[in-house]
Amino acid sequence: MSEPALPHEPVATDGVVPTDHPEHAGSLRELLRIAIPLMISSGSVSVMHLANRIFLTWYSLDAVAAVLSAGILHWTIISLIFGTVQYANTFVAQYEGAGRRDRVAAAVWQGMYLAAVGGVLVNLIALFAGPLFAMIGHEPAIAQLEAEYFGTLCFSSVPTLLTAAMTCFFSGRSKTRVVMAVNVIGVSINVLSDYLLIFGNGPFPRMGIRGAGISTVLAQTVECLILAWLLFQAKPRAEYGTLRNRAFDRDLFRRFVRFGFPQGMHFFLDVASFAVFMQLIGRLGKTEAAATTLAFNLNTLAFIPMLGLGTAVSTLVGNRIGEGRPELAVRTTWTAFKVSAAYMLTFAAIYVLLPEWILQPYFAYSTDVDPKRVDPVVVRETVIVLLRFVAVYCFFDAMGIVFGFAIRGAGDTRFALWFSCVCAWTLMVLPTVVSLKWFDGGLNACWWFCTIYIIVLGCGFFGRFLAGHWKSMKVIEATHAENVDESLRDSKIPVTE
């Protein structure tokens, strides 16, 4: 006969008891067990972007000026669907915390349906790449490279979005080592393909910026196939019904969109604001565009791994909300903030004290000697100045990531949408437009607006977390027992044991 559950240990509705030991719940040990693989996974993506930019710097600084503008436009277009699809992580986490395994797979399938349809629609935009970038108004040589890269990158949309949906099945259940392994494989393929296709090494032709786009398509496709193979293995099919729960569920899909769409719109408007910001800076000239690209790329060394930590926070908050233990979610979030603050401040010191060291790989083999192209020396000096802005907002970036992911993990997606939207467009984009159009503002003024935006965003998410509204939120449907309890409370009938 099994022992009865302790009062502080929730019993799952299907008899599955949460796997975390009570003495470790909410601890640094629990957080790191889940977060470190996700941080490595996200960090590997950062390495991929770093290698991509380094290779393109060696190939042509014009390509560097084009790749971020085109890449961020593609990300802007898919971010609405990506953010919505990725919210399956919260559904999986809360269903797992409540012990409702049949609903875990069903939630992932709703995300996969949305990913497939959305990815196909994004592919069609590749047909209009040339006119789209010609309309933006960048220099013709840069616009041509942007259209080439963007048109290729669009074909990564379907595997990218399907990968995001299937990843939630593992990350939402704290199986983050699987996510790490798959991402590392994909990044390795991407970096190797970059080396072969950008420069034409081995039997491959020299493809330049198009080769970088093809590498991304190839890597995302491999990741998608690996995750599909893992998702339909015998064990997940038996325990979670990953095949039998594949039906389209109208009620679940409606709830999925209700909570996930605000996150998707949040992603979209946030990325769109940076896309517009980058297009505005692109009008200042090639040097400003290339320097901003490299500064943001170096910022990803700190920023992207923290997204992995944020996903871990979102997962654990979702688990605790599903279990009915929000106080542990608070403890986990504060622990994560301490980790992220220390990490970000370390990078801030590097950006200020050792900029030459982290810039060295970019310019070690740069071959641009044409006076009509970007001057590497000027770009280098400009990046060093921009990294000081990055150092100023690093700490507040950590606040925005940790506390923002925490409240979204509970279901507070609408506040995240409206607050981030208002901040991005009123504090960064609009002042940049006014500065450049009427006051002849330069690059530094644009970066000051970006810095102010990130500071205010971090403080706002921190305040929302402290307010505590998220503690009473839940995205999953109530169980029969919860409905009975609520009915009894509403009717004021005393509940007897």
Residues of the chain with pLDDT > 70: what percent?
A: 88
Lowest mean pLDDT among 44-53, 301-310, 316-325: 44-53
Rg (CA), the chain: 23
Q: How many CA atoms lie within 13 A of 45 on its CB side?
A: 21
Predicted confidence band of residue 324 (pLDDT cuts 50, 70, 90): confident
Is 21 within 8 Å of 283 (Cβ atoms)? no
pLDDT in tens, 227-272: 999 999 999 999 999 999 999 999 999 999 998 999 899 888 888 8
* DSSP track, 342-389: HHHHHHHHHHHH-HHHHHHHHHSS-----TTS--HHHHHHHHHHHHHH
pTM of the model: 0.76
Write down the residue that tokens 């909570």 correspond to.
Answer: 259
pLDDT in tens, 129-166: 878 787 776 778 888 888 888 889 899 999 999 999 99
pLDDT in tens, 364-420: 655 554 445 556 788 888 999 999 999 999 999 999 999 999 999 888 888 988 999
pLDDT of residue 19: 43
Count of helices and strands (H, E) across the chain: 19, 0
pLDDT in tens, 35-85: 999 888 887 776 777 777 778 878 877 787 778 778 878 888 888 999 999
Q: Give dist(CA 385, CA 447) in Å, integer.
A: 10
Q: Give dist(CA 424, CA 418) in Å, integer.
A: 10
Is 454 within 8 Å of 397 (Cβ atoms)? yes
Residue 194 has pLDDT above 60, yes or no: yes
pLDDT of residue 426: 94
Q: Give dist(CA 184, CA 376) in Å, integer.
A: 31
For CA atoms 317, 323, 326, 332, give the dihedral sign. Answer: negative
> What is the pLDDT of the chain when averaged over all its residues?
84
pLDDT of residue 374: 58
Q: Residue 93 phi/psi, 5° resolution?
A: -65, -45
pLDDT of residue 480: 46
pLDDT of residue 17: 39
pLDDT of residue 84: 94
* DSSP track, 232-263: TSHHHHHHH-TTTT-S--HHHHHHHHHHHHHH
Q: Give dist(CA 108, CA 415) in Å, integer.
A: 24
pLDDT of residue 479: 57
pLDDT of residue 369: 46
Q: Give dist(CA 436, CA 448) in Å, integer.
A: 13
Overall average pLDDT of the 20-24 stretch: 52
For CA atoms 19, 23, 25, 30, give the dihedral sign. Answer: negative
Is 349 within 8 Å of 395 (Cβ atoms)? no
Predicted confidence band of residue 478 (pLDDT cuts 50, 70, 90): low
pLDDT of residue 23: 46
